């Protein structure tokens, strides 16, 4: 049964990648009208991506998602708001720091900042810049998850929090350095990616399930959207204060 489920998931991952492959092949053959370079490597790489994606998703469902949901329910039953908030911050901070996409974006931003003479022309300065960006974004994610947990506990509407964040972004963008605006918006999207999203969703749903009077659908979801806007504010402030 487990083997059949894995095969079905493998086929599902392949179907998920088919639109991307179809677009690449159509433009390569019909628009650019050139032969596909290294076709064998393309096929082998696609198979590796399918296998990796399948194992990754299955690993999340068997480990991180149940653990996050179970811990949220345990904290809620225990009634310790302080430790629940500490757990929420640490979960958001740790997940963001572990995001490979965030590491890639901050590394690229540091490299271009070095080339543009925005920081010292040294590898050490580039490393510090990338790390400071990652820590800034990770802190914003941790704070966002904390506020999101309070929202679930108090029953606050998500729309108020989202409007507040977007208003802050609209105010900060005209004053922030031009080189930080694009980085800020990219940081918001990449920081809520493969690792953060399952954990944050599990936390929200698990907490909403454990608290009486809360709906897992209407109250449990929404943390990811809120968390995606908080790094934009923090990185814009980082650019203003840098």
Tens digit of pLDDT for each residue in 149-175?
A: 899 888 888 889 999 999 999 999 999
CA distance 214 to 203: 14
CA distances from 65 to 3, 69, 118, 189, 200 (A): 21, 6, 40, 20, 9
CA distance 165 to 172: 11
- Using pLDDT thresholds of 50, 70 and 90, give the confidence band for residue 89: very high
Mean of pLDDT values over 113-128: 85
Residue 209: closest CA among 199, 195, 198, 220: 220
Residue 69: closest CA among 178, 223, 202, 229: 202
DSSP class of residue 219 equals T
- Using pLDDT thresholds of 50, 70 and 90, give the confidence band for residue 137: very high
Q: Is the pLDDT confidence value at 32 over 90?
A: no
pLDDT at 1: 45
- Of 67 and 9, which is predicted with more confidence? 9
For residue 121, give both structure tokens. 């022309």
pTM over 0.85: no
Mean of pLDDT values over 119-134: 89
Mean of pLDDT values over 10-35: 79
- Using pLDDT thresholds of 50, 70 and 90, give the confidence band for residue 133: very high
Mean of pLDDT values over 97-123: 86
CA distance 240 to 233: 11
Residue 233: closest CA among 180, 159, 178, 158: 180
156 φ, ψ (degrees, to nearest 5): -70, 145
SS3 content of the chain, % helix, strand, coil (to 5): 80, 0, 20
Mean of pLDDT values over 94-101: 86
């Amino acid at each position: 049964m487990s083997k059949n489920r894995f095969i079905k998931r493998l086929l599902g991952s392949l179907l998920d990648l088919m639109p991307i492959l179809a677009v690449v092949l159509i433009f390569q053959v019909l628009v650019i009208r050139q032969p596909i370079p290294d076709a064998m490597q393309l096929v082998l790489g696609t198979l590796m991506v399918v296998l990796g994606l399948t194992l990754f998703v299955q690993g999340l469902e068997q480990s991180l998602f149940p653990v996050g949901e179970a811990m949220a329910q345990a904290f809620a039953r225990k009634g310790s708001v302080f430790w629940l908030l500490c757990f929420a911050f640490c979960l958001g901070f740790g997940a963001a720091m572990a995001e490979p996409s965030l590491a890639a974006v901050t590394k690229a931003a540091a490299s271009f900042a070095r080339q543009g003479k925005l920081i010292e022309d040294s590898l050490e300065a580039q490393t510090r810049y990338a790390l400071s960006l990652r820590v800034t974004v990770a802190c914003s994610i941790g704070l966002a998850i904390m506020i999101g947990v309070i929202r679930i506990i108090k029953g606050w509407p998500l729309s108020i929090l989202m409007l507040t964040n977007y208003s802050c972004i609209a105010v900060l963008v005209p004053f922030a350095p031009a080189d930080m605006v694009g980085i800020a918006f990219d940081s918001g999207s990449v920081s809520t990616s493969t690792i953060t999203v399952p954990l944050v969703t599990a936390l929200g749903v698990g907490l909403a399930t454990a608290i009486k009077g809360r709906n897992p659908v209407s109250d449990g979801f929404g943390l990811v959207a809120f968390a995606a806007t908080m790094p934009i504010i923090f990185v814009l402030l980082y650019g203003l204060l840098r």
